[in-house]
Chains A and B, each alone.
Chain A
Amino acid sequence: MNIFRLVGDLSHLLAIIILLLKIWKTRSCAGISGKSQILFAIVYTSRYLDLPNFVSMYNTLMKIVFIAASYATVYLIYMKFKATYDHNHDTFRVEFLVLPSFVLALLINHDFTVLEVLWTFSIYMESVAILPQLFMVSKTGEAESITSHYLFALGSYRALYILNWIYRYTTEDHYDLIAIVAGIVQTVLYCDFFYLYITKVLKGKKLQLPA
């Protein structure tokens, strides 16, 4: 554990809490892509099937929180606050993300076993899982500030992991190419959003895309 990884995990946790609180407090999931949230639930489920492999209390606890929170979010969007779900704007075709991620996981993995292929699939899937949400923001041309904070915290987490991987490579000689390449792709997808967040949201303006 190093500072980049810890802050990255906390940023990830913060993102999940912001989203749950936003939906709970406003009793609405307007502006939130249910499709991205389903993809995240798939990501955590397929990645944390290795839960019986005990690493640490921290590791186990975080995995359980991520899985539980992702299902709770999907439940709030598709069941409890279904009436507020903006499905007309959530039209990204997720099969174009799920199928290629799965095929790539079958082709490029560390070990051709069920658990390892599913872990690899989750890494590829996570790198693009936010696309339906970003697509929704670009389609409506705007995002509420709280949604922007959520996206910023979620995007920062993988960027911090990149620093963690550099640190681990230099100090422990440890690296995992699959996670590194996918993590870079994931972070790059947020770049456009990061720019808008820093130039607009942090200056108190609403995140609004140029017409």
Chain B
Amino acid sequence: ARSPLPSPVRDPNCDDPDVEQAALAAVQYVNSNHRHGYKYTLNQIDKVRVYQRRPAGEVYSMEIDLLETTCHVLDPTPLENCTVRQLIEHAVEGDCDVSVLKLDNQFVVLNAKCESSPDSAEDVRKVCLDCALLAPLNDTKVLHAVDAALAAFNAQNHTSYFKLLEISRAQLAPLHSSVYVEFVVVPTDCSPKDVADPAVCNLLADQYGFCKATLTEKVGGEDVAASCTVFGTAPVVPGPQPDGVGPTVGPTVAAGRHPV
């Protein structure tokens, strides 16, 4: 049996308006289909080939380059308001192969396969000699820093006991003098005071806190500063902001975000 004739193809320019619309539809699809880590934004369209689809429509087969932003995927901030992670912050890029169907001027993603990879330490060193580098999320210093920061946050918070949901990012300063971590917490139905066994605390659905913390080692001990932004309708009592915390999360920019 004769193989079906390949459908006619066309090779548009990567910056043609319809190609860019297809790429943006793919970015929106990627961001709404992963539950961990950060939102990604379009950086460059590498390749595109358009196939005729029977009985109607066209399929855009593309390779696109993305860059990680500083917004967690659970953060309701619109993507256009999310800052791209800069080279000196140890940027992370995403490479995606996507197929997008264009039918009746609508773009629907048929499939997407993506890989993310951090910039190399050498490249970060080229732009910043003493910047903190990404660390494995299961590094013992990272785990300790998150534990200490969450304990400090719960100690300040007065409404709800928060549990750890995800460690999203960690960086170690040169000589490991300080650890910078970002993690996601979830409020529970326990009050911070009466938590004998956290296992009995139930998570409050659809409410999250995104926290940034820095743990600094010093002679005879360590300092930890944490600040969290709670998304959703969690009851919030604005705790005293620890001074000296790392880049604190900005003021409320979207409904339901409360810096604590």
Do A and B make up one complex?
no
